Amino acid sequence: MDLKKLKQVVHTFEEDLGGGLVACDVFDREGLSIYGINSNPQACALFGRITDMMHKSLIGSGFPDMEYYTIFTKDNKMVVVVEVDENYRFGCLVDREKTTPGLIFSVGLPKLISGLREAISS
């Protein structure tokens, strides 16, 4: 893993969202954070478990596996969790009053996912 590149990719994502990123973490299958901005270890552990349950439920029901999922909260925030590869995940909390889902999905996430995969495989 190239930690320097990983940090660079995360900070580019932060810039791409134009001030809308509240917090984020790259974390492993055990829910332990590798790197984050306003890191939240409890969220890493929680979303690690939720992601495992969703993965098992999708596969067990005959659906294709997921790449990422989103949760829209009542306070105008959004949680995005990405399956980077079989060992690592990325989770973030975004303020939807400061950025738009379109910017996240069309600009931020594609660059983030490819950059994280490259950094992790290095």
Angle between helices 3-16 and 109-121 (to 10 degrees): 180
The SS3 call for residue 67 is coil
For residue 44, the model assigns a pLDDT of 95
Q: In this predicted model, what pLDDT tens digit does every residue of 14-39 receive, in sequence order?
A: 999 989 999 999 999 999 999 999 99
CATH code where residue 93 lies: 3.30.450.30
pLDDT band (50, 70, 90) for residue 122: confident
Reference 112, options 3, 37, 16; nearest CA is 16
d(CA 79, CA 91): 7
How many structural domains is the chain composed of?
Answer: 1
Q: Across the chain, what does the average pLDDT equal? A: 94
d(CA 40, CA 62): 33
- Write down the number of H helices and E strands in the chain: 4, 5
Q: Which domain holds residue 16?
A: 3-121
CA distances 90 to 57, 60, 61, 62, 114, Å, are 20, 23, 24, 25, 12
**Token pair for residue 87?**
């060992």
